[in-house]
Structure formats: structure tokens, C-alpha cells
Amino acid sequence: MTKVQFRTAEERDRAQWADKFTAVAEGNLYRDKNSPFPIHEYFKLGLLGKEVRMLELNAGAALVDHMVADALTELNISSETEGNADEIKDWHKSIFYQDTLEQTARSFFSCGYAAQQVVRDIDPDTNENTYTIITLNSKTWYPTVPTFKYQEIREGRVVSIFSENNDGVKSWYAFVERHTKGNVEHELYKLENGNDLEGTKLKIKDLDRFKELEDSVATDLNHIPIFQIDMTRGAGKYFGQSIFAKIWGNLQEISEIKTQMRMERIKHFRSLLAAPAQSLQRAQRVDDGEALPNNSKQARVEQYEHQATFDLRQEIMAVPPGAQMPQFIQRDLEIITKAMEMIRDCLSEIASVTGCPRSVFNLDEKGTIHVETEKKKDRKYVQRITQCQKKLEWITEQGAKTYFQWKGDKAGKKEITAELDSAFEMTLEEKVDLYRKMNSDGKFISQEEAVRNLFPDMTEEERTEMLQKIQDEDKSLAGSFGDPVPVEL
């Protein structure tokens, strides 16, 4: 049968990198397939022992955990129409949306982008529609990139690669949800392995797990129910850059140093005894009574091994006068001290590159161990967290909008506003400075949004009045510079 391509090589490579980034964020650095970091051959071959493995002590997981904890503050839902906010709050509570939002934030930082899907299903007991929101695994999201970066995503695929074992034979499949405006199609492909770009197309009901699915389902929406948010994107890039992108080598180096430290500790504890040969007792051989062939090579080898075997469990050692006293030979622990300094240097460099506070890695400004969290965050770090919060608020609002449309609001009149509390205690002057920087080009945050965050206790009427004054002052200032005063010479 003719094979059909369902993804490109570039899409597969991006999916594999998303899988690696996710693994590092979860603290899983070394595995058999698609390992984020290479496993040294002496571990693969068991040269250091079958139970000795690379240490998965990941600074990346600590960094992402800290950033997610800062970004996920109290989520406030409001609406100008009475009842809308309460309905969304009840819905979020029923689907445990806080957990979904945490998964989205984790994917946002670790992979550089995240996608949420609003799902409509049918309750088999009541035969009524149910609605929920899930965070897509970043490696499964394949959007059709629009021509221009400013355009919205109008179609995309969710590709899940899986295998089934039948009578000891592993078979690979690709399940594809193809989302377009107002419709979703389900496709199934038979693959030769999990890295294939093309496969033999099957009927969706050929596998029992999909027997209840239809080939095509109308979504009744004017958009696809999947929404993507990104971290800062490079020029010409459509996906955001992972927080790990610039510190990938540092993360690997920390694990390697930690593993080397453990190896040195193991060797240190495996000390050797140095003592005069005259003070050591001969070990009792179990084969002493066996007859050995005379004048043979085997006899000479056995005799040598017998003479070279000592009993190191003896309690008393008779040391001849003037001979060296027995002592244990151990490895110098200075290499472990040096390794700890190297790890601190790596953590310090990670903090510098990512812009996160040194306290994330329990370091103070001098690089020594620090037990209290710094109150004042680095400016770059604050901007990263604030950016994430704005994106999470937006994606929450899109999910609520889709929910209302499926509930019958085709005109889009039901609107809600989602806001996350600030994670940082800043003075009004610090907030003003931050929002001025964020609004330097007028694209990231509006004046209205800045006023709402700077003065949360104001009523809507007071905010409107303040914004009007700002606009009037801007017009007055522009008029002053636009009409130069005539000067007589």
C-alpha cells in the first residue's frame, strides 16, 4: 500500500527536542531512547558496576519549578456581566483547571511554548455535552505555521505516536487529530518505527481503542479549539525559545561533575591496606588438600597465588622492628572539594545567563550557600514571570470564550477577564518603571492594562477618568510641539 506523509523531518526534530526539554524539566536526564544527554560508554558497559548510573541531579528542574511557582499566583476571574465569572469559576473547579494551568506554565518555560486544547465530549450516562481543558504534550502539537508571524494559527495537528504488542510483536501507529476551522478529522497510520515521517493509512476503527470515534466531527466553532503561547521568539522563529536553550551544556556538566564526585567517594571508601608482608598471615586455601601435578606450569601458578594470598581480617599484626606501620591508603578528598566549587560556578553562570536570582540555586551574591530567598528579584527575571502571567491570562480567556461558544454564545457577547496576582512585592515606582519598559513600543502591554495593574483598588470610573487625562495630556503635549511659537529676529 502507498505510504502517506503525516509530518516533516523538521517537525519530528522539533518534537524530539520538546521531549528532551520536558524530560530535563522533570529531572529525567538519562534514558535508553532519545536521552537528553549522552550516557558514557563505561556506564553502558557496566565497567563501574551494574548498579552505578549517571546521577540525575538537574538544576533545570529546580529552575523551572521555581519559575512556575512564581508565575502561578491566585487566578482572579471577573466579568462585566453578572453570572459569567461564577460560571467559569465553577467550571474551572470541576475540571481542576489549576493543575492544567501549572502544566501549561511548565511547558511554557521548559519547551519555550505551550498549547491548551478545549475538549467537548459526551457523557455516556446522561448523553449530555461535557467540556474540559487539557495541556497538550508539546511534542504532539504540530501547528500549520501561517505565512506571517503576526497571523493566528488557523489549523494544526495533534500527532500521537504509540505502539501495541500483539503476540510479542510490536506494531507502531500514529494517531492524528487534524483541526481546521469548524471541523476535526481523525486519522490512523501504520508505521515501521516511532521515528517515521510517513505511514500506511488505516481506517480509524481498525484499532479497538478508536472504535467509538468518527472520521470527521464538526466543532461548531469559527476557530480551532487549540491555543498556543510562546516565550520570546527569535527573528524568523515561530516557536518560543526554551529556558534551557542557552544553558544546555551547563546542565549536562553539573550532572557529570556530580557523578564523578560519587565515583570518587566510592573509591575513597574502598581503601587498601599497606603493611609489611612479614606481619600478614597467609590465607587458608580451600584447595590445599588437592594434589597438583609436579613440575608443571599450573603447579607454579597455583603455588604463586597461594603465597600471594593474605588474610586481611587478622586482629593482630606482628610488625618487625623498624618496619612501616600498617596504614590505609585512601583517595584524596580534595578533588571533591574542587568539584563542589565547579558546580557552584556552573550554577552561577546559569543564573547569569537566564537572568534568574542566584537564590534559586541556594546561592547568595558571593556564591556561597544561602538559606533565605532574596526579596528583590532580578529585573530580567521579573519580566520573564510577568510575560508568562500575561500569556496564561490570555489562554485562560480563550478557553472561557470557547466554552461559552459551545454553550450557545455564538455572537461572542459573553466575555471574562482573567488576572493573576503579582508574584513580587514592588513599590509603585518600581511597577511604573517596569510597565514603562514593557510598554516602550506599545505592543506588549497597553496603557489601560498598566493602569489596571498599578491601581487595582480603583473603580472602573476612576480608571476611565485617569486614562482620559493621560490621553488629553498626550494631545496637549503633541499640540505644543506641533505648533511652534513664532520668533521675531
- Please state the pTM of the whole predicted model: 0.72
pLDDT at 18: 94
The number of residues in the chain equals 489
C-alpha cell at 12: 519530528
Q: Are 245 and 30 in contact (CB under 8 A)?
A: no
Q: How many CB atoms within 10 Å of residue 241?
A: 16
Work out whether strand 281-282 and strand 310-311 pair parallel, antiparallel, or are unpaired.
antiparallel
CA distance 71 to 372: 20
Chain center to CA of 475: 46
In a domain, 22, yes or no: no
Closest CA to 431 of 386, 394, 399: 386
In a domain, 443, yes or no: yes
Answer yes or no: is 457 within a domain: yes
Asked if 217 contacts 245 with a C-beta cutoff of 8 angstroms, the reply is no
Are 439 and 431 contacting, i.e. CB atoms less than 8 angstroms apart?
no
| Measured distance between the N- and C-terminal CA atoms of the chain, rounded to whole angstroms | 91
What does the H/E/C string look like for 89-153?
HHHHHHCCHHHHHHHHHHHHHHHCEEEEEEEEEECCCCCCEEEEEEECCHHHEEECCCCCCCCCC
The answer to whether residue 183 is domain-embedded is no
Cβ 140 vs Cβ 266: under 8 Å: no
403 within a domain of the structure (yes/no): no
Examine residue 314 and state whether it is found in any structural domain, yes or no: no
Domain-embedded: residue 340: no
The answer to the question of residue 472 being in a domain is yes
List beta partners, residue 201: 189
SS3 readout for 43-104: HHCCCCCCCCCCCCCCHHHHHHHHHHHHHCCCEEEECCCCCHHHHHHHHHHHCCHHHHHHHH
Contact, 395 vs 229, CB < 8 A?
yes
For residues 375 and 426, is the Cβ–Cβ distance under 8 A?
no
> Do the Cβ atoms of 36 and 16 come closer than 8 Å?
no
Q: Which domain holds residue 451?
A: 429-480
| pLDDT tens, the chain, 489 aa long | 689 999 999 999 999 999 999 999 998 888 777 788 887 766 666 656 666 666 666 788 989 999 999 999 999 999 988 899 999 999 999 999 999 999 999 999 999 999 999 999 988 888 899 999 999 999 999 999 887 777 788 899 999 999 998 888 899 999 999 999 999 999 999 999 999 999 999 999 999 899 889 999 999 998 999 999 999 877 777 899 999 999 998 988 888 887 777 767 666 666 677 788 777 777 766 555 555 555 566 665 555 555 567 777 777 788 888 887 877 766 666 777 788 888 888 888 888 888 888 888 878 765 444 444 444 456 788 889 999 999 999 999 999 999 999 998 887 888 899 999 987 766 666 666 666 666 555 444 567 777 777 777 777 788 788 888 877 776 665 554 455 445 454
* Cell numbers describing residue 245: 536553550
Taking the CB of residue 257, how many other CB atoms lie within 10 A of it? 21
Cα of 433 vs its chain's centroid, Å: 30
- Residue 175 amino acid letter: F
The answer to whether residues 375 and 365 touch, using CB atoms and an 8 Å cutoff, is no
| Residue 485: burial class (beta carbons within 10 Å; 0-12, 13-18, 19+) | exposed
* Residue whose cell numbers read 455516556: 124
Q: Residue 145: which of 117, 169, 113 has the closest Cα?
A: 113
CA dihedral defined by 145, 151, 155, 161, rounded to 10 degrees?
Answer: 40
Count up the domains in the chain and report the number: 1
Question: Distance between CA atoms of 133 and 121, rounded to whole angstroms?
Answer: 11
Determine the Cα angle at 401 with ends 148 and 467, to 5°: 80
pLDDT reported for residue 16: 93
